[in-house]
Amino acid sequence: MESGKDASALKEVRVLWEDRDSAALFKPPGLMVHPDGKSTEKTLCDFVVSRFPEAKDVGESLTLSDGRVVARPGIVHRLDRETSGVILIAKNQSAFLKLKKQFQGRTTRKIYNAFVYGRVGKEAGSINLPLGRSKGDFRQYAAPARARGEMREALTYFTRLEAKKDFSFLELIPKTGRTHQIRAHLKAIQHPVVCDRVYAKTKPCGLNFNRLALHARSITFKDREGKEVTVEAPLPPDFIEAKKIFDRLPE
């Protein structure tokens, strides 16, 4: 049975753009992209199958550690449960393979917004640190000094849009697509994302957030004809409210 929370989040999903091959959706915070094999709650996949039944058998399934197979209809990439914003889905296998190739070739462009703790000193820069599993917390990924096992290259560009004494508002462009990349990179430079309960466990949530303050604002990719398409997801209500609070803070 679906909980009231995930049922409510599912109702917030909306189509931002679509053509005959693919669609860009707004994913609200709190909604998982696909099942994790541990819970029965609704996911973005339920919306995809309901709205685009032709996508039911599109994509690649996920095999869990216990051997169970989880379907991921139409899912080309993912966002963390608490991250809001734009996500692409494929309506047919041909579109899935073409979009997947773009992600693997790093020709897609994703732009995120985030509120982070502290005043970021640089106006712009890059975080070029390989990531691996954290030595201290299996849920985290970390830079080499705090990681174990295989390290994978990871590069994130950032621009400081605004900064106050206690918080900064950033634009982030991940050039690679590692799990938790933005969150791990921002922790590595001592400016974790506000209300990140994995990477900033000891910090109180600020700016009235009760979820990770990370939003996938836009994505740029090429459609079937090779035309470049950019789709933008407007800031959700909690980001808009946080910005009002942020603007009233002392410099």
Nearest by Cα to 84 from 206, 210, 200: 210
Percent of the chain with pLDDT over 90: 80
For 39-83, what is each residue's pLDDT tens digit?
Answer: 778 999 999 999 999 999 999 988 877 778 888 999 999 999 999
Q: Which two tokens stand for residue 10?
A: 């599912």
Average pLDDT, the chain: 93
Q: C-alpha angle with apex 93: 221 to 82, nearest 5 degrees?
A: 60
pLDDT at 119: 97
178 pLDDT above the threshold of 90: yes
228 pLDDT above the threshold of 80: yes
Q: Give the distance from CA 182 to its chain's centroid.
A: 9
Give the active site residue among 80, 137, 238, 247: 80
Percent of the chain with pLDDT over 70: 97
- Residue 149 pLDDT class (50, 70, 90 cuts): confident
**Rounded-to-integer distance, Cα 139 and Cα 39, Å:** 18
Please report which helix (H) or strand (E) contains residue 98, including its range: helix 93-104
Concerning whether 196 is annotated as a catalytic residue, the answer is no
pLDDT at 247: 97
Sequence-distant (≥ 6) Cβ neighbours of residue 77 within 8 angstroms: 87, 88, 103, 177
Lowest mean pLDDT among 23-37, 54-68, 77-91: 54-68
5 pLDDT above the threshold of 70: no
Phi, psi torsion values for 244, nearest 5 degrees:
-65, -45
Give the largest CA-CA distance in the chain: 53
pTM, two decimal places: 0.93
For 185-198, what is each residue's pLDDT tens digit?
Answer: 999 999 999 999 99
Lowest mean pLDDT among 69-73, 99-103, 179-183: 69-73
pLDDT at 62: 82
